[in-house]
């Protein structure tokens, strides 16, 4: 089964090339059923040679072959939610590679519905303390293949199931140009945040992992440095929304022998050129230097094209290699619906060791989409917990950390951007303006949330007001943050990999902390009546006394409207000062929770998830009028029934067999008071 990979050695024509380094492995020389590490001089495990032959060392397997003449491979699988214990490592030679052309290839076979994972490390094993994750590659059970760069997806494509396929990563480490190929076909290119490789770590990352690995090879074509050479290795312009302003960043690398002390940099953004001279620097051989462009760029509708070129290095004109002087980038920004703001709610807690991930991605979303994204960190089981908000979140999540984007189904905080970009393009049914008065002496905050209807609507739209605070901190141990990323063993996470476990309170400032939600998690019942027409204006008032220990300069007011399915349709966020400037508008006072009182009635669904049928179980203390309405995730009414007057205990059937698989919202109204329940149809 051994494959020989032939590469062109013409990396750069004007430079002398030393002999290429080639490695290939077909596992045919090893004993089936025995650990790989002790049999091989090349393969090891995460902890190094001391761990070879142990539980982390995978076994050589007998398997069907993908070519003629072989029957052995390595099998990886796990039944643990956190993956493992296999943790197989192949170093790419001795010293980590930072220049030249590097190609890695391997054959994989993944059963249908299973997944596979590996990462490239920037350093050499054993991997102890802080490690350098060059990239993570996930081949998921849904058929998607995602490459992440410091936790951020840089390429998303697909992979095969049920048969052997060849996966190749080809990287020019000089110019930071990476390419993924499957069965010889390019699936996409990218630039990498870490342009360095030292080894591959293959790990079954969760309970769904199961895959075979065979015919592994890599090839290295070294690069000979000219005397003077400045190269562009990265051009970064953060994608976003049309009309957002972005500042390009350009990474320059010294791929020569002589120190770089000055250079000219040109940037062309959507046809508009700008130039700047960088001087007074000292960039030694192989070091990098990042330049922030002097001219910000406004993203426009359609394809945005950016290019950058380095020239006149050290004032000497052309350098020793002209092939690495330029880089081009194209982006297609998204178009936000007018007046739209998206809400991201994160379930978190200081006790939760993975919740630093939520904090990092909440801040990322706020910084990247300021003015379009309202973040709310809903704490559980710690000193910042709001009981009402925590209870509401608890009914919609499966674990911590979990994020809800506009109260769509829960997801990992690292995936918020995808749902955000979908929701920000959906035209809201109403525009929202927050107003306020605030007494700094008594800490009384009066808020008005005014909604102007943009589209005719019917149904139970609700409204709520949330108060958050940024930079919350304290000295008590309750402000310590558990941190699974400490030491770097779980990868880079916004600097948390450099902090302890737990992170001491003195080092923690918590942003977006939910302090108040009124009148309830689901909002004020029928905020716009049974229906409302375009142009109508509704104002609801919320009043509260802020805790004297809260910093009023760090307070954010978030007014938000939920549609009949419980999704957040739109929101607005302001500081207290901004809301006061907007002006307080007198309206209807939101006085309390309007959901079904559990002392008067209980409501539950079973089975849930459902296949053919589900049932609503009611226990009514007094005779009451009952209506049921069921909505899909798009907010469309799929079923409804008025049951008239009922009393006592009863079962109301739901013919879920008529529904497509997905998530539905069952709204049970009892004497005008509603409760919303999520139903999953399998």
pLDDT level of residue 24 (50, 70, 90 thresholds): very high
Q: Report the 10 Å Cβ neighbour count for 288.
A: 14
> 435 pLDDT exceeds 80?
yes
| Averaged pLDDT for residues 21-50 | 93
In a domain, 494, yes or no: no
Angle 623-629-634 from CA coordinates, rounded to 5°? 160
CATH number at 570 reads 2.60.40.10
CATH code where residue 635 lies: 2.60.40.2550
526 — pLDDT class (breaks 50, 70, 90): confident
Residues 105, 25: one domain? yes
| Angstrom distance (rounded) from CA 174 to CA 196 | 10
pLDDT at 340 over 90: yes
Q: In this structure, what DSSP letter does residue 415 have? A: G
End-to-end Cα spacing for the chain: 42
State the alpha helices, DSSP H only, in 398-493.
416-423
524 with 375, same domain: the answer is yes
Flag whether 497 is in a domain: no
Residues 439 and 549 in one domain: yes
The domain in which residue 321 lies consists of 230-331
Does 373 reside within a domain?
yes
Look at the chain and report how many structural domains it folds into. Answer: 4
DSSP assignment letter at 366:
H
Specify whether 530 is located in the same domain as 662. no
Residue 317 in this model has a pLDDT that exceeds 70? yes
Which of 331, 365, 390 is the endpoint of a domain?
Answer: 331
Residues 536, 675, single domain; the answer is no
Average pLDDT (437-446) is 92
**Domain shared by 428 and 565, yes or no:** yes
Cα–Cα distance, 603 to 596 (Å, whole number) = 9
User: Computed from CA positions of residues 143, 147, 151, 152, in that sequence, does the dihedral angle turn out positive or negative?
Assistant: negative
Examine the pLDDT at 595 and tell me if it is beyond 60.
no
Q: Are residues 552 and 669 in the same domain?
A: no
Mean pLDDT of 272-286: 97
Residues 615 and 562 grouped into a single domain: no
Q: Which residue has the tokens 């760029």?
A: 297
453 contacts 430 by C-beta, under 8 angstroms: yes
For residue 397, pLDDT beyond 80? yes
Q: Domain boundary at 177, 193, 221, which? A: 221
Kindly state whether residues 544 and 412 are assigned to the same domain. Answer: yes
Residue 615 in domain:
yes
Is residue 487 one of the residues assigned to a domain?
A: no
Are residue 455 and residue 557 in the same domain, yes or no? yes
Note the pLDDT of residue 501: 96
Pick the last residue of a domain from 197, 221, 245: 221
Q: In this model, does residue 634 exceed pLDDT 80?
A: no
Position 670 in a domain: yes
36 with 60: CB under 8 angstroms?
Answer: yes
Distances (CA, A) of 408 to 373, 457, 513: 15, 20, 20
pLDDT at 2 over 50: no
Query: What pLDDT was estimated at residue 11?
Result: 37
- Whether residues 141 and 216 fall in one domain: yes
Residue 663 three-state SS: strand
Confidence at 677, pLDDT banded by 50, 70, 90: confident
Per-residue pLDDT tens digits for 599-633: 567 788 888 888 888 889 888 888 888 988 887 75
> Is the pLDDT assigned to residue 4 strictly greater than 70?
no
Q: Which residue has the tokens 């290795």?
A: 233
Same domain, residue pair 56 and 130: yes
Do the domain assignments include residue 179?
A: yes
Q: What is the DSSP letter of 410?
A: P
pLDDT at 523 over 60: yes
Q: How many residues does the chain have?
A: 682
Determine if the pTM surpasses 0.85: no
- Over residues 115-124, the mean pLDDT reads 94
Cα 567 to Cα 636: distance, rounded to the nearest angstrom? 12
Closest to 548 (Cα-Cα) out of 514, 511, 515: 515
CA dihedral 403, 409, 411, 415 (to 10 degrees): -90
**Per-residue b or e along 158-176, where b marks 16 or more CB atoms closer than 10 Å to that residue's CB:** ebbeeebbbbbbbbbbbbb
Is 4 part of a structural domain of the chain? no
């Amino acid at each position: 089964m051994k494959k020989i990979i032939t590469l062109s050695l013409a990396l750069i024509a004007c430079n002398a090339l030393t002999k290429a380094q080639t490695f290939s492995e077909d596992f045919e020389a090893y004993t089936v059923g025995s650990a790989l590490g002790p049999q091989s001089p090349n393969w090891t495990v995460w902890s190094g040679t001391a761990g070879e032959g142990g539980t982390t060392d995978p076994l050589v397997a007998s398997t069907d072959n993908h070519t003629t003449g072989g029957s052995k491979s390595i099998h990886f699988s796990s039944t643990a939610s956190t993956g493992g214990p296999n943790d197989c490592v192949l170093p790419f030679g001795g010293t980590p590679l930072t220049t030249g052309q590097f190609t890695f290839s391997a054959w994989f076979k993944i059963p249908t519905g299973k997944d596979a994972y590996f990462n490239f490390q920037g350093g050499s094993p054993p991997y102890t303390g802080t490690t350098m994750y060059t990239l993570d590659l996930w081949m998921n059970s849904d058929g998607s293949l995602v490459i992440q760069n410091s936790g951020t997806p840089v390429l998303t494509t697909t992979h095969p199931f049920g048969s052997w396929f060849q996966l190749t990563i080809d990287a020019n480490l000089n110019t930071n140009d990476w390419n993924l190929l499957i069965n010889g076909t390019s699936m996409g290119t990218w630039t990498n945040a870490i342009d360095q490789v030292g080894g591959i770590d293959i790990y079954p990352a969760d309970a769904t992992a199961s895959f075979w690995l065979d015919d592994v090879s890599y090839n290295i074509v070294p690069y000979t440095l000219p005397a003077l050479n400045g190269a562009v290795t990265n051009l970064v312009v953060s994608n976003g929304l049309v009309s957002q302003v972005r500042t390009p960043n350009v990474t320059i690398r010294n791929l020569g022998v002589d120190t770089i002390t000055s250079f000219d940099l040109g940037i062309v953004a959507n046809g508009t050129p700008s130039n700047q001279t960088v001087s007074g620097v000292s960039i030694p051989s192989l070091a990098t230097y990042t330049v922030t462009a002097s001219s910000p760029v406004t993203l426009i509708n359609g394809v945005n094209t950016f290019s950058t070129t380095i020239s006149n290095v050290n004032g000497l004109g052309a350098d020793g290699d002209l092939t690495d002087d330029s880089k081009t980038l194209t982006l297609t920004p998204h178009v936000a619906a007018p007046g739209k703001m998206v809400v991201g709610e994160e379930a978190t807690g200081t006790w939760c060791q993975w919740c630093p991930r939520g904090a990092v991605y909440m801040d990322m979303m706020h910084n990247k989409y300021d003015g379009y994204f309202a973040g709310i960190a809903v704490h559980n089981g710690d000193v910042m917990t709001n009981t009402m908000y925590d209870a509401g979140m608890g009914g919609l999540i499966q674990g911590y950390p979990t994020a809800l984007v506009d109260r769509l189904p829960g997801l990992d905080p690292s995936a918020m951007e995808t749902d955000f970009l979908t929701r920000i393009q959906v035209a809201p049914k109403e525009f929202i303006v927050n107003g306020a008065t605030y007494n700094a002496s008594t800490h009384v905050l009066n808020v008005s949330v005014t909604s102007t209807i943009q589209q005719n609507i019917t149904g139970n739209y609700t409204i709520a007001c949330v108060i958050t605070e940024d930079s919350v901190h304290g000295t008590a141990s309750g402000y310590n943050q558990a941190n699974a990323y400490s030491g770097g063993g779980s990868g880079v996470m916004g600097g948390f990999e450099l902090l302890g476990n737990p992170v001491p309170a003195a080092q923690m400032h918590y942003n977006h902390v939910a302090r108040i939600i009124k009148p309830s998690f689901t909002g004020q019942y029928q905020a716009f009546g049974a229906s409302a027409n375009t142009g109508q204006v509704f104002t609801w008032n919320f009043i509260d006394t802020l805790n004297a220990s809260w910093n009023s300069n760090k307070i954010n007011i978030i007014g938000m409207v939920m549609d009949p399915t419980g999704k957040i349709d739109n929101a607005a966020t302001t500081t207290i000062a901004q809301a006061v400037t907007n002006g307080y508008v007198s309206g209807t006072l939101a006085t309390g929770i309007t959901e079904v009182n559990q002392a008067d009635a209980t409501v539950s669904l079973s089975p849930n998830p459902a296949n053919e049928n589900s049932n609503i179980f009611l226990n009514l203390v007094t005779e009451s009028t009952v209506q049921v309405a069921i909505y899909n995730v798009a907010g469309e009414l799929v079923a409804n029934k008025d049951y008239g007057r009922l009393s006592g205990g009863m079962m109301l059937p739901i013919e879920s067999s008529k529904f497509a698989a997905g998530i539905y919202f069952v709204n049970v109204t009892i004497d005008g008071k509603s409760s919303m329940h999520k139903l999953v149809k399998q």
